[in-house]
Amino acid sequence: MRKNLIVMTVLILLVSACAPQMMTEPPANSDEQPTTGPSEMTPAQSAAITLLSATLNLSADKISLVSTEAVTWPDGCLGVQRVGVMCTQAQVPGYRIVLEADGVKYEVHTDESGESTVLSQDAQLGGIAEKAVISQLAQNLGLKEGDISVVSDVPVQFPDSCLGVAMQDVMCAEVITPGRIIVLEADNIQYEYHVSGDGSRVQPASMALTWKREGGIAGFCDNLTVFLSGEVYGNRCSPADGRMGTFASLLSSSERSRFFDWAARFDRVTIDASDPKGVSDRMLVTLTFSGVGGKSSITGSEQQAMLEFAQSLFNELYSQEPTQ
């Protein structure tokens, strides 16, 4: 009996030793690996996300890390040349870090410690510039950003410091200026913007209306430029007295609708409402309207409506506090 008990005990121990054990954690080669969290990022990766978060005014948790590549930058500017910034010529070890936000990828250059970070030129002029002009157009016209699409984004060499957009009584230095032309579309209308090479200046380029009033007993000297994208610029024959505004701040919804009705119906309209030559204290009033439609003829009442619209818009612009 005692011998049988010993044999049974040995068998139980053998069976227990061979039985599979319950797994308390996944094996090292499991596909279910934990996601890298912010605390596990390198200082350079964290610094890159902080830079993009501040640039886009977007919370860091909306930005994801795509890739990190160790590189040696050719200068102290981490390989990103910017206007007016001097770069040391010493090589700098660091990283090329690609991030993603709202479906757009951005490239950030850093040193090894993350103390120096800079967005690559392509990132500045690509995703960031596009987001900036989309936001500007949406605010100008009261649109939703999601209803605006990018038609094209092309690098160019502008012929002057005004980014190729000549405006009344605004002087432009004749210097080649690198930049980009970005074309947006909303409600089947295209809007063109010119962006400087360093991303510091955004210039609307779809000019829709110019109006000039000068002379008369009061000695008027007024200019108005209106862009299809909703930017309004006025001056009294001096850039120092210039004012800027937008459709959203200057026009009612009915006035905006009338403006875009003209844009859809007319191609190019030129109006001269000046006093006849020889009149004492002659008043000169001219208006040019450039729409996207195919009709050129315009009735007398429509011409008068355009002239009144322009003068009213100019008066409204100067009734507001000047924009710095």
As a whole number, mean pLDDT of residues 90-113 equals: 89
As a whole number, mean pLDDT of residues 257-266 equals: 94
pTM for the full predicted model:
0.65
* CB-CB neighbours of 17 under 10 Å: 7
Residue pair 184/191 in contact (Cβ under 8 Å)? The answer is yes
CA distance 226 to 48: 39
- Of all residues in the chain, the percent with pLDDT exceeding 90 is 53
Predicted pLDDT of residue 84? 58
Predicted pLDDT of residue 88? 87
As a whole number, mean pLDDT of residues 286-315 equals: 93
The structural domains of the chain, with segments of one domain joined by +, span 42-119, 147-204, 207-319
As a whole number, mean pLDDT of residues 222-245 equals: 91
CA distance 5 to 9: 6
Question: How do residues 149-184 score in pLDDT, each as one tens digit?
Answer: 989 888 788 999 999 998 877 888 899 888 889 999
CA distance 46 to 293: 51
Residue pair 74/57 in contact (Cβ under 8 Å)? The answer is no
